[in-house]
Structure formats: structure tokens, C-alpha cells
């Protein structure tokens, strides 16, 4: 394999590996659903009397 081709492959594979590891780490540690203290309702605005 030529040195220039090897250099190009390394410059593509190494950053792609970092991106893959970062993405997998983010998917495992991110919170699921709305955070604590998030208020939910039925979507209607009801009048006060």
C-alpha cells in the first residue's frame, strides 16, 4: 500500500472512530423522556371561574 493512500485512510478512519464512539456514548448516557420537573397536561386550556 502506498504511503499516501495509507495516510489518507488513517485520516478518515481515526476521526470516524471518534465520531462513532462519541455517538454511542451519547446514546447510552442521555436522559430518556422529559426531565424532572417537567409539567405535562392534556393540551387543553380550561377557563377559571
Which grid coordinates belong to 10?
Answer: 488513517
The runs of H, that is alpha helices, within 1-49 are 3-29
pTM exceeding the 0.95 threshold for the entire prediction: no
What does the pLDDT profile of the chain (49 residues) look like in tens digits?
678 889 989 999 999 999 999 999 999 998 887 777 777 777 777 777 7
Cα 35–Cα 41–Cα 45 angle in degrees, nearest 5: 135
Q: What is the pLDDT of residue 26?
A: 94
Torsional class of 12: left (φ above 0), alpha (ψ -120 to 50), beta (otherwise): alpha
pLDDT of residue 45: 76
Amino acid at each position: 500500500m502506498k504511503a499516501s493512500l495509507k495516510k489518507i485512510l488513517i485520516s478518515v478512519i481515526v476521526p470516524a472512530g471518534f465520531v462513532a464512539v462519541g455517538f454511542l456514548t451519547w446514546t447510552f448516557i442521555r436522559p430518556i423522556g422529559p426531565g424532572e420537573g417537567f409539567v405535562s397536561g392534556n393540551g387543553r386550556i380550561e377557563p377559571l371561574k
